[in-house]
Amino acid sequence: MKVAIRDDDTSYFTTPESLDRVYRDIWDRVPVCLAVVPFAIGYEQPGIPPAHWHSGESFALHRNPELVAFLRELIAARRVTIALHGYTHQDYPDGYEFQAAPDLPHRVQHGRSYLESLLECRISLFVPPHNALSKRGLAAVAASGLDILGSFLSFRPSMRPWEWRAARNWWRIQRYRRATGRTRRDPLVYPHALGYASHAEFGCHSLVPGTTVETLTRHFEEAQRAGGNFCLATHYWEIDATLEQVMRAFLDFAARQPRVRFVPAEELFQE
Ligand SMILES: [Zn+2]
């Protein structure tokens, strides 16, 4: 069983200390997939200085050279891998970035190539800002060939062009729903990557204020029984002493399970 960690929202506004505070020894045990915003525009979030919540200014990652150097070191040491987390991560009056912004194909292509050359790495994963994708957003990411790491049930038939893989995935999810005793309305994270024509999707389990070790271990055991994999998704800026304790207790629990391997999130897509 593969277990991975994804951490969202690293951007120009992030300090090396704020990442090191959370992952200082964890990323030696578990590589952390950092979902990075290449040209961040501020919004109301504790990790961003209030002066930039409404400034509308776009901050390219290279304007924070200390962070860039730190990330390059972490990548070289295989402590982190990099995913693309939107382009500006800005919110629009009628939706989140990958629901409402113009030029989504350009944002994916340029965001990816910019981060790959700045950080000297390869990127194969996309994490939607706020885990939100419109049909147009999904089409832009799928066309780029990037796989999608989300925190949602990554299947809504209305979101996708009809093709045989969509039908197959729908049946796989219905089977899992029945096997785990869920009704149509119960939330569900399917524990395998779902392949489509040019990309695949995998859902993560959120670690947010209020998440308990019991919830995480219960979901882990469910994925384990299904022969699946598990990815924990969180935000460094939200991790306080309580959440840090939950994360560490969960990782210790996972490490004690037979046949568990901590992997970079990219490996969740290699069946
Ligand atoms: Zn985000």
User: Pairing between strand 200-203 and 194-195?
Assistant: antiparallel
Interval between CA 8 and ligand 1 midpoint (Å) = 5
Interval between CA 196 and ligand 1 midpoint (Å) = 24
> 14 phi and psi, to 5 degrees?
-90, 140
Interval between CA 84 and ligand 1 midpoint (Å) = 10
Distance CA(136)–CA(77), nearest Å, equals 36
Interval between CA 33 and ligand 1 midpoint (Å) = 13
Interval between CA 164 and ligand 1 midpoint (Å) = 32
The residues with which 4 forms a beta bridge, in sequence order, are 231
In tens, the pLDDT along 16-75 reads: 999 999 999 999 999 999 999 999 998 888 888 898 888 899 999 999 999 999 999 999
- Per-position pLDDT tens, the chain of length 271: 999 999 999 999 999 999 999 999 999 999 999 999 999 998 888 888 898 888 899 999 999 999 999 999 999 999 999 999 999 999 999 999 999 999 999 999 999 999 999 999 999 999 999 999 999 999 999 999 999 998 865 556 677 777 888 889 988 988 999 999 988 888 889 999 999 999 999 999 999 999 999 999 999 999 999 999 999 999 999 999 999 999 999 999 999 999 999 999 999 999 7
Interval between CA 13 and ligand 1 midpoint (Å) = 13
Distance CA(177)–CA(174), nearest Å, equals 5
Distance CA(203)–CA(123), nearest Å, equals 18
Interval between CA 133 and ligand 1 midpoint (Å) = 13
Looking at residue 108, its amino acid is: V
Structure token digits, residue 173: 């999810």
Interval between CA 83 and ligand 1 midpoint (Å) = 12
